[in-house]
Amino acid sequence: MSTTSPTVSPTADDRAVVRTLVSLKVRLLRNGLRRSPGRAAGYLAGTCLGLLFGVSTAAGMVVLRGHAGAADVAVMLTAGLAVSWAAMPLFFFAGDESADPTRLTMLPLRPRALLRGTLIGSLVGPGPLVGLLLLIGAAVTAGQGAASAAVAVLAVPLTLLVVIALSRSVAAANARLLSSRRGKDFAIFGGLLFAVLIQLGNLGMQSSFRSPDQGLDLSVLHPYASVLRWIPPVSAIDAVRSAGEGSYLVAALQLALAAGLLTVLLRWWLRSLQALMVSGDASTLVATSSVHSGSGSRAWRLLPAGRAGTVAQRHLRYTWREPRAKAAIFTGIGMTCVIAAMSVVQGWGSVYVIAIGGLMLGLQSANLFGMDGSGFWMVASTLITRRDARDELRGRVYAILAQGVLVLLLVGPVLAAVTGKWAELAPALGVSFAALGTSVGLGAVISVYAPYAVPADGNPMRSAAPGQNGVVMLNAFGSMIGVSLGCAPIGIALGILLISHQSPWPILPVGVLYGAGMALLGIRVASGGLIKRLPEVLARVIER
């Protein structure tokens, strides 16, 4: 007698899992409207702006239909959309709960069912709708005739599936890295770098699209489009153009390339899900062979002795390890580089723009205690005398000054070399150091009289705890107005020297002394206020 083991078909269970995952995505979108009124309004505003961008871009693409080079524009738009979707999980991984597959890997789910459910659920939401609008606009722009319309019916959904599968497979392959602290650091730095590159590319494109008679010249895109049209998923949209021109074999080959990439991405995604379900997280393992201590590093010996040096070292370590503090610093550096690059590209390059860097880096001191959170009570318990408060503030200010001075000394000479205006370097550094010292001095005072708590959820996009938006606005506007008034004497002195055709180099030593004096004055005022207002500062900082 032979016995056969029964085989249970997983089809019904898999379909139920798919339905559950899709309904979960719908519930997540619906719950976005059930948040606080402010968050709901922001969610709706972002959705409306995204849809408006999609509709307006698609309409603009349709207007280009029939112009020479319109198909090249469609190719570039599709390529940009694919790159954006591929980069999205790397930079905004924490902003989408459904993008993290590790939230579901502990459940008794089959990887294939999880993949199908996540793929279908990814088609729901404003993001895929905006992408669909852009792809429809690109297909309409590139096509002509009934053959193009028939191919577009296949090309548009195929391209949308490819970009979504690309985004999800990248997220699944890097899920554990992106959910770690190192991954958040990479997301912050990469997102800022991506924004800087987009802005520089935008400036370059604007200058290239203008022909000598100031008309729109799309021929500059042809060399790039001729290569990108054979790279999937861009090839699927360009198949619409090929079909309209009668090249049916070429159109079929371009569609086949996109379908092949979709197959490869789905297999990669499936393997990543299987690895997440069966392998352990290396970040939870204790490494016993790589224990080191940096207390004896030569760099730390440059800091002053005593409490001020210890506080400065602690603040620098927190800045390096805390993604939100790192995001603020990189934002200041990135904005300085972007403005400097814009000044060079647009023809009004000047070394004086580095003063913006001194201002933005110095304003990192406007909330010196907020990043400590609930741990600030340990610091507060050691603040007995005014000298203790002064040393605490001095250490934190030293850390910010070390970062700001280093950045200014690096960016200033580079900008002077690019623009060739070496004569502006000395006065520009003087103005920058004055702005840096004034902003850190004022920031120390504002940190005492208008402190606020930083959210403890680790999201670098949130800068304040709920209910403290008014304090944040007071802090921001007070900093900007105060620094503008505080730096006015240096600006007036520089203007007088330039108008009278005198050499402005004395602004360098004057700016250094002025900035140092303003920083010391701010610390002195803030130290007295910190002792008097310590309970109130502690209450605001630990409020989460």
**Mean pLDDT over the full length of the chain:** 78
Pair of tokens at residue 362:
């110095």
Query: What is the rounded distance in angstroms from the CA atom of residue 501 to the CA atom of residue 492?
Result: 14
Q: What is the mean pLDDT of residues 456-484?
A: 63
pLDDT band with cut points at 50, 70 and 90 for residue 182? low
pLDDT band with cut points at 50, 70 and 90 for residue 250? very high
Q: What is the mean pLDDT of residues 510-526?
A: 93
- The tens digit of pLDDT for each residue in 90-144 reads 655 444 556 667 777 677 778 888 888 888 888 888 888 999 999 999 999 988 8
Burial 221-250 (b: 16+ CB within 10 A, else e): beeebeebbebbbbbbbbbbbbbbbeeeeb
**Residues facing 216 on adjacent strands:** 210
pLDDT at 289: 40
Cβ-in-10-Å burial (0-12, 13-18, 19+) of 361 comes to buried
Closest CA to 332 of 359, 353, 351, 352: 359
**Helices 70-91, 234-244: inter-axial angle, 10-degree rounding:** 170
Pair of tokens at residue 87:
């980069």
pLDDT at 285: 46
The residue behind tokens 């307006």 is 56
- The tens digit of pLDDT for each residue in 188-197 reads 555 555 555 5
pLDDT band with cut points at 50, 70 and 90 for residue 473? low
- Report whether 101 contacts 114 (CB < 8 A): yes
pLDDT at 3: 42
- The tens digit of pLDDT for each residue in 391-448 reads 999 999 998 998 889 889 988 898 888 888 888 899 999 999 999 999 999 989 988 9
Look up the pTM and report it. Answer: 0.56
pLDDT at 467: 54
Query: What is the rounded distance in angstroms from the CA atom of residue 135 to the CA atom of residue 237?
Result: 8
In the predicted model, is pLDDT for residue 87 greater than 80? Answer: no
pLDDT at 17: 77
Is residue 93 helix, strand or coil? helix
In the predicted model, is pLDDT for residue 453 greater than 80? Answer: no
- The tens digit of pLDDT for each residue in 340-381 reads 777 776 677 788 888 888 888 888 888 888 878 778 888 888
In the predicted model, is pLDDT for residue 162 greater than 70? Answer: yes
* Torsions phi, psi for 216 (to 5 deg): -80, 120
| Helix (H) or strand (E) segment spanning residue 88 | helix 70-91
Residue with the larger pLDDT of the pair 166 and 7: 166
Q: Determine how many CB atoms are found less than 10 A away from the CB of residue 130.
A: 21
User: Which amino acid is it at 349?
Assistant: G
Cβ-in-10-Å burial (0-12, 13-18, 19+) of 108 comes to exposed
Question: Which of 107-121, 205-219, 220-234, 380-394 has the weakest average pLDDT?
Answer: 205-219
- The tens digit of pLDDT for each residue in 42-72 reads 667 778 888 898 899 889 888 888 777 888 8
ω into residue 111 within 30 of 0, thus cis?
no
User: Which amino acid is it at 325?
Assistant: A
pLDDT at 107: 73
- Report whether 308 contacts 394 (CB < 8 A): yes
Could you tell me what percentage of the chain is helix, strand and coil, using 3-state DSSP and rounding each to the nearest 5? 75, 0, 25
Can you list the alpha helix ranges (DSSP code H) found in 92-211? Answer: 111-122, 126-142, 146-173, 175-178, 181-208
- Report whether 259 contacts 158 (CB < 8 A): yes
Query: What is the rounded distance in angstroms from the CA atom of residue 110 to the CA atom of residue 27?
Result: 22
